[in-house]
Amino acid sequence: MLKNYLKIAARNLSKNKIYTFINVLGLSLGIFGSLVIFQFIKFHLLTDAHHHNSKNIYRVVMNLHLDDGSVEHEKGSPYVLHEALKNDFSSVENVAYIGQQELTLSVDDKNNLPTQFLEKEAAAFIGADYFKVFDYQWLIGQATSLDTPNTVVLTEKYARKYFGEENPINKVLTINNLQPIKVVGILKDIPETTDLKTEVFVSLSTLKTIIPANDKSFTEWAWFMKSRETYISLKNNTSKTAFEAQLPAFSKKYYGEMAKYYRFQLQELSDVHFNLDFGGKISQSSIYLFSAIGILLLLVACINFINLSTAQSFKRFKEIGVRKTLGSSQAQILWQFIVEVGFITLLSVFFAVILAYLAMPLVNSWLNINVTFKQFFDGQMLVFLPILIIFTITVAGLYPSLVVSGYNPIHILKGVTKNSKTGLSLRKGLVVSQFSVAIVLVSVSILVVWQIRFLHNKDIGNTKDLIVHVQVPDNNQIETLKNQIAEKPFVESVSFARRAPSSEKGGSGGTIKLLV
């Protein structure tokens, strides 16, 4: 029976090529939009979900309560916090400190000539317990590899970057032309679905060789930097609520009377990516919004299919009347049209998947994600596609199939084709719904474009194109450098800062404002 259904479906669709093309095109575009949004949502929901103990991992963040009643949220933490947590709480299993730092790394080639690499985002100083908290796949080395001072662990990608195809173990890198560090481990490349983007892991003890050991950032509890974060893993018998109940006393111990301003809290690892107050990348509400848009796109495509199918069905009255007169039941005709809808849906899904895959490089750039071939066709996708197909066939095919299979053969053969008020009302409602959803989506798109243009054209108080940031290796001759630059006729003013404006990274640098 199914074989006959498929033959009839193929014959009918080939006879009505324009109708088939329009339906496949409409459904393909709707499914394409849903697939792209699914990949976008999946990418964000899977961020840092690969750590086996993720439910027990927390970032220690700070809420700074000011006298005017406002609250500032700080994702960074004082350097001294990680040692205090380890010493003061028996319920803490491990403490992971990570301090991202802009570093210049140099490697000597075969002729002992240094090649320098400026790492703005990839390098970090990490505590000894970091690899006990977070999961990485070790190719060479182990979690305790960075217990030794002046050592570094690299990912495969960065090992090749510095040393090519040579064995990197025991090779030497030099930090800021000051401190040599030895490669003691190699990690498999980190997944794209992570906010922990470090590729160069330097032992924490090395930090004090490039920053003076008496620097206040090592000792002051009020010294926060967004690039320095502290994560902890709690023992299985400890709840977040119970641990946070102890934090006010902990703050009182180290901040004294200032503890009323400094209030620590735990942030679940699963919340880090979605909490905009603490530097998250996207809000949960945005995920819900994109989910709704994906469903609406698919519904609009299905409604368009329903309207075209019911309109096309009037051309098949005689076929239906003859088949019913010859003994076909309503159920058989219903299944025949369901098979046709399924045929169109499968074709649409096939073209939509190809289009979505080919468009992923553009989508990655546009939506600021990085979905690879392996991630595109992963287990979640293989589960999502059957659900999508069943949903589309049910929504797009059920009503037209019921309408067509329900025609009275006597009325059809007599040429009587009355439309019920219910059927007309439903079709009118579908058309109105389709246009309403389209208007909403177009309006939202226009609003977003206006907002982006406003952000790009807003006067922020200075001319960015006339400001240059220059990295300097150290502060020893900083005043001399400042005076020499200021003497240039094209320089209006010079200022120096430990980090660049709007940057979360540490490091010494200067800002030069040029005359217009």
CB atoms within 10 A of CB 347: 16
Q: Which residue has the higher pLDDT, 308 or 466?
A: 308
Look at 119-133, 209-223, 354-368 and tell me which has the smallest mean pLDDT: 209-223
The count of residues in the chain is 516
Q: Which residue has the higher pLDDT, 64 or 510?
A: 64
355-393: pLDDT as tens digits:
999 999 998 988 888 888 888 888 899 999 999 999 999
33-66: pLDDT as tens digits:
999 999 999 999 999 999 999 999 999 999 999 8
- Per-residue confidence (pLDDT) for residue 110, from 0 to 100: 78
270-282: pLDDT as tens digits:
999 999 999 999 9
Predicted confidence (pLDDT) at residue 152 exceeds the cutoff of 80: yes
The distance from CA 493 to its chain's CA centroid, rounded to whole angstroms, is: 40
Residues contacting residue 207 through CB under 8 Å, at least 6 positions apart: 99, 101, 125
Residue 83 near residue 488 (C-beta atoms within 8 A):
no
Predicted confidence (pLDDT) at residue 324 exceeds the cutoff of 80: no
Distance from C-alpha of 447 to C-alpha of 464, rounded to nearest angstrom: 26
Predicted confidence (pLDDT) at residue 97 exceeds the cutoff of 50: yes
Predicted confidence (pLDDT) at residue 242 exceeds the cutoff of 90: yes
What percent of the chain is helix, strand and coil (3-state, nearest 5)? Answer: 55, 20, 30
410-454: pLDDT as tens digits:
655 555 555 555 555 655 666 667 667 777 777 777 787 677 677
Predicted confidence (pLDDT) at residue 108 exceeds the cutoff of 60: yes
Extended beta strands in 235-362, E state: 262-268
Q: Which two tokens stand for residue 158?
A: 């960065």
> At 312, is the secondary structure helix, strand, or coil?
helix
* pLDDT level of residue 187 (50, 70, 90 thresholds): very high
* pLDDT level of residue 16 (50, 70, 90 thresholds): confident
* pLDDT level of residue 478 (50, 70, 90 thresholds): confident
* Cα–Cα nearest to 297, from 505, 47, 28: 28
CB atoms within 10 A of CB 81: 23
Domain boundaries, the chain: 2-47+283-418, 54-278, 464-514
Which is it for strands 228-234 and 57-65: parallel, antiparallel or unpaired?
A: antiparallel
The pTM score is 0.80
Instruction: Find the DSSP H helices in 217-268.
Output: 240-244, 247-255
Q: Which two tokens stand for residue 11?
A: 């014959």
CB atoms within 10 A of CB 256: 10
- Per-residue confidence (pLDDT) for residue 454, from 0 to 100: 77
- Per-residue confidence (pLDDT) for residue 425, from 0 to 100: 60
* Cα–Cα nearest to 402, from 416, 429, 420: 420
CB-count exposure of residue 103 (10 Å: 0-12, 13-18, 19+): buried
| Residue 222 φ then ψ, to 5° | -90, 5
